[in-house]
Amino acid sequence: MSNSESRKLAELAKRRGFFLPSNEIYGGAAGFYTYGPEGAALKRHLEDAWRDRFTVKEGNQEIEAPTIMPEAVFEASGHLDTFDDMLVECAECGASHRADHLIEDNTKIEDAEALEITDVEELIREHELVCPACGAALADEPVSDFNLMFETTIGPGSGQSGYMRPETAQGIFVEFPQLAEYARNQLPFGVTQIGPAYRNEISPRRGVIRVREFTQAELELFINPERNGPDLSQVADVELTLYPIENQREEGSEYVEKTVREAVEDGTIASDWVAYYLGIAQGWYERVGVDMDRFRFRQHLPGERAHYASDCWDAESELGGDWVEIAGFAYRGDYDLSKHAEYSGQEFTVFEPYDEPITAERATVDPDMSYLGPEFASKAGEIADALETLAERDRAAFEGETVAVEIEDGAYEIPTEKTGFSVEEVTESGEHITPHVIEPSFGVGRTLYTLVAHAYGEDEVEGEERTYLSLAPEMAPTTVGVFPLMDRDGLGDRAREIAGELREAGLEVAYDDSGNIGRRYRRQDEVGTPFCVTVDYESQENETVTLRERDSTAQIRVPTADLTELLTDFRNGVRSFDEVRGGYEELSESPANPAE
């Protein structure tokens, strides 16, 4: 989509109620958007479709956690230390800019986010980049890390420090012990959440693409990496467009087209679970209406991975000539659960029974604290812990008369007889493991923008220019527009009755009796309504109506008794308009308003 088309899309989005900048009567605040009636409906349908695929069909649980969480949560998660973007400030006008974006916007360099700060500073000097706001040179300005967390206070006065969550995931991780119980401590199990997240972006831009409040749809799948694998047969033959690290590093290298099975077998995708979810996501994106010719999966370069991810692939859509991340698929390992266990002192494990009990020798210690206490005072506890760790790791260390252990402030010798060291034969029925996490994380707003951008079209119908959105019926804010040919002679009354019947059946209906039929069609086409029903004089004679399909503008004559079932099937993807049109009378032109 060209810049001209992008501007048209932004104008359409505001004029027709998809999304618009918030609080403009007070000057607004960058990075905050309101979804209007059309956008809110489209967003709701998108979330419902995601919930259907990733919660219901995958057999996962769904929760809803608070959006404000105590500081301790983000100390444990690492966000307070590592959740940064690169900031450069203009000395002339004081404007702040995201340094890596300046490089990407003004050079041929992609993914500058993966570079070190010193490299970014050098590129700004080398390319003589200037402030977009005032034109002043930025070559001598320092680049620094800027933490994206929104800080707040919980409670009155100084209260308790808290933060707006930058992702929905932590609300799942902190409740893991209870969620594991709900899942009967059986791995694998998944937990989903759809809700708002907040990031204090340095330079929000491109409408709802980069904002400070946005909606995420996330799945956290908890697995035993040694025992749990996906059923790849479900997605083995799904064709993926992949952009692996090695292809990104080779100038002029193309994408690779592989099935999920091929990508796993040749190691292009290291994790079976990540590959599984790429296959599932591919089908879901096709379902909701993403143009798959403008879609790819790109592997994160090492420097751009989140602090918790050992591997990550992004789903990206082409928008305005740029590739934009709309989802991420990360292997988070046991980072999150281990960190919360460490900081909270709670158990974040699941007991996994063995297929058969295992008998094995286990080295243990039972230190004589009546000796360690007087001898080592406050260090006695640390020494006892060190002895326990050493026994598990190196039994041979206890073969001499003394045992050497190291704690934070130095090394100590303890008589072996005071350690209570022994080797016992034990029978174990299972083990406690810290699960690993697979995370598909979707940006709802970015996906919504993608659907609108990819659905946008212009053509000419009956000599008039037309703008339309070719949205999938399941996604469209309104399923059907219902019109009387004229609001007289009982046509309006009958059209309102039909609209009411369709609403009762659960369909979203727009009733319109203003202007000529052509203009009413154009209004519905522009907001993506896939079908329009017109009640005319023939409807009074034989209880039929005209049913028009948006993209082709084809019309058929349909008995009103068939209407609800047809439209419900169209919306739910059970049947398509093309599949049924041969069974009804096809009309060659639009109904015309009779002369006044």
Residues 483, 593: Cα–Cα separation, whole Å: 12
Contacts of 453 (CB under 8 A, 6+ apart): 1, 6, 9, 317, 319, 320
Rounded to 5°, angle at Cα 553 from 547 and 559: 10
Domain end among 370, 395, 430: 430
**In terms of residue numbers, what domain contains 369?**
354-430
> Which residue bears the tokens 């399923």?
479
- Give mean pLDDT, residues 179-194: 97
Which range (148-152, 288-292, 427-431, 538-542) has the least confidence?
Answer: 427-431
The token pair at 538 is 């023939």
Is there a contact between 509 and 502 (Cβ–Cβ < 8 Å)? yes
Categorize the per-residue pLDDT at 592 as very low, low, confident or very high, splitting at 50, 70 and 90: low
Residue 424 in domain: yes
Q: Do residues 419 and 508 both lie within one domain?
A: no
Residue 125 in domain: no
Residue 383 in domain: yes
Residue 420 in domain: yes
Cis peptide leading into residue 188 (ω within 30°): yes
Helix (H, G, I), strand (E, B) or coil at 451: helix
The token pair at 192 is 């989903």
Which residue from 524, 533, 443, 537 is spatially nearest to 486, judged by alpha carbons? 537
What pLDDT, in 10s, does the model give residues 361-374?
Answer: 889 999 999 999 99
Is there a contact between 579 and 479 (Cβ–Cβ < 8 Å)? no
pLDDT at residue 341, as a whole number? 96
Report which residue type is found at 255: Y
Q: Is the dihedral of CA 309, 313, 315, 316 positive or negative?
A: positive
Residue 567 in domain: yes
pLDDT at residue 113, as a whole number? 82
Domain end among 401, 430, 459: 430
- Give mean pLDDT, residues 284-290: 98
Domain end among 370, 398, 430: 430
What pLDDT, in 10s, does the model give residues 52-104?
Answer: 999 999 999 999 999 999 999 999 999 998 888 899 999 989 899 999 989 98
Q: Do residues 489 and 563 both lie within one domain?
A: yes
Residue 559 in domain: yes
pLDDT at residue 588, as a whole number? 77
How many domains are there within the chain? 2
Q: What's 485-538 look like in SS3?
A: CCCCCCHHHHHHHHHHHHHHCCCCEEECCCCCHHHHHHHHHHCCCCEEEEECHH
pLDDT at residue 593, as a whole number? 55
Max CA separation in the chain (angstroms)? 113
Whether 109 has a pLDDT exceeding 80, the answer reads yes
Categorize the per-residue pLDDT at 294 as very low, low, confident or very high, splitting at 50, 70 and 90: very high
What pLDDT, in 10s, does the model give residues 500-532?
Answer: 999 999 999 999 999 999 999 999 999 999 999
Q: Do residues 506 and 579 both lie within one domain?
A: yes
506: left (phi over 0), alpha (psi -120 to 50) or beta: left
Q: Is the dihedral of CA 15, 20, 23, 26 positive or negative?
A: negative
Residue 86 in domain: no
Which residue from 575, 529, 565 is spatially nearest to 548, judged by alpha carbons? 529
Residue 509 in domain: yes
pTM of the shown model: 0.86
Residues 487, 512: Cα–Cα separation, whole Å: 10
Whether 578 has a pLDDT exceeding 90, the answer reads yes
Is there a contact between 529 and 501 (Cβ–Cβ < 8 Å)? no
Q: Residue 513 sits in a domain of what CATH number?
A: 3.40.50.800
Q: Do residues 426 and 483 both lie within one domain?
A: no
Is there a contact between 190 and 273 (Cβ–Cβ < 8 Å)? no
Whether 356 has a pLDDT exceeding 90, the answer reads no
Residues 196, 322: Cα–Cα separation, whole Å: 25
List Cβ<8 Å contacts ≥24 apart for 4-8: 5/320, 5/456, 6/319, 6/320, 6/453, 8/456, 8/467
- Give mean pLDDT, residues 418-424: 94
